[in-house]
A = this chain, B = another copy of it.
Amino acid sequence: MNTAPAVAAVDWGTTRLRAWLIDASGKVLAERRGDDGLISAREKGFAGVLEGHLAAMGAAPSLPVIICGMAGSRQGWLEAPYVDVPAPIGAILAGAARVPAQGRDIRIVPGLAQRLADAPDVMRGEETQLAGAGLPAGGRHLVCMPGTHSKWVVVEDGAVAGFGTWPTGELFSVLAEHSILRHSLGEHPAAVTPDNVFFRQWCERALGEGGDVTSKLFAIRAAGLLQGLGAAEAAACLSGLLIGGEIASARRRYGAGNAPVVLVASGALGALYATALDVAGLAVRIVDADEAVRAGLVEAARENGMIGEKA
């Protein structure tokens, strides 16, 4: 059995970092979470932040490190140039960029670029989740990865055919904090749960509008004035409207297909999307996002020859 660390895997985003020590079989031996994402690591220095986390987990000085996420952006540690889609997932991972002049082997998985004139798009980090999502090797699969900037990806026979971004999480935040809806949602919007009837109702309304959400935003304010809608209810309405709108829009662009939608998500957000996809009448296969990114990082370490082939 493997019990010695074979690689350190790091998901290094804009505001957060997660790191794991993983053995050659893919088993997690240690874990760290920190708020030293790209923004604070730019100040402190990426190498120092990384070595601090590795030392805290007792990693040997020679342990290789595989990284995904915004650390590979132009504003990050080292720019890992985008791979253009369409591209096979294995080939994306294999193109990890090596950080020069470090005491250990440190590589960063590239992001993806979709260079379409009328639908340019980019991602960093989600390509690694995708690699670890356990997709079948063949067939067409529609993958939904919700978040601040939700990604929907079409995978065909193991290659990324195309993708799109819906800034649903960000829209919720900026509208709740900075638009007239702040009067409706109050200072500290309540957490929305999937069993909330307003969430489901506004999700249905948005699904009926093919992704048009702007026509219904002000109705949340008006429902407060005319129908006594409360703050917690208003938060559920906005969440249902935006998530339902995202699903309607993505379905319109990509079609639903025959295979279930693969939902790569965790926690409360995953539960909201699972409900919304169900309201939309779409079959869903749920993959835990934390497990997917770890599995994808291990796969990337293999593709780059940092650890041995799977037994």
Chain A, interface size: which category?
35 or more
- CB of A55 within 8 A of chain B? no
The answer to whether residues A215 and B226 also contact, given A118-B205, A170-B179 and a CB cut-off of 8 A, is no
- Flag if A179 contacts B167 (CB, 8 Å): yes
- Distance in Å: Cβ of A149 to nearest Cβ of chain B: 6
Asked if residues B210 and A212 are in contact (CB atoms below 8 Å), the reply is yes
Interface string of A190-218 (1 = CB under 8 A from B): 00000000000000010001111111011
Interface code A247-285, partner B: CB below 8 Å = 1, 0 otherwise?
Answer: 011101100000000000000000000000000000000
CB distance from A69 to the nearest CB of B (A): 16
Q: Of B114, B118, B174, B205, which one neighbours A178 at CB under 8 angstroms?
A: B174
Q: Does A119 contact B (CB under 8 A)?
A: yes
Main secondary structure of the interface of A (DSSP, over half): helix
Q: Which residues of B contact A120 (CB under 8 A)?
A: 219, 222-223, 225-227
A180 touches B149 (CB 8 A): yes
State the Cβ distance, A35 to closest chain B Cβ, in Å.
Answer: 19
Specify how many copies of this chain sit in the oligomer.
2
Establish whether residues B122 and A214, one from each chain, have CB atoms under 8 Å apart when the complex forms: no
* A218 adjacent to B174 (CB under 8 Å): no
Residues of B close to A253: CB separation below 8 A: 215
Complex contacts, A166 vs chain B, CB 8 Å? 214-215, 218
Closest B residue to A242 by beta carbon equals: B214
List B contacts of A215 (CB < 8 A): 164, 166, 211, 249-250, 253
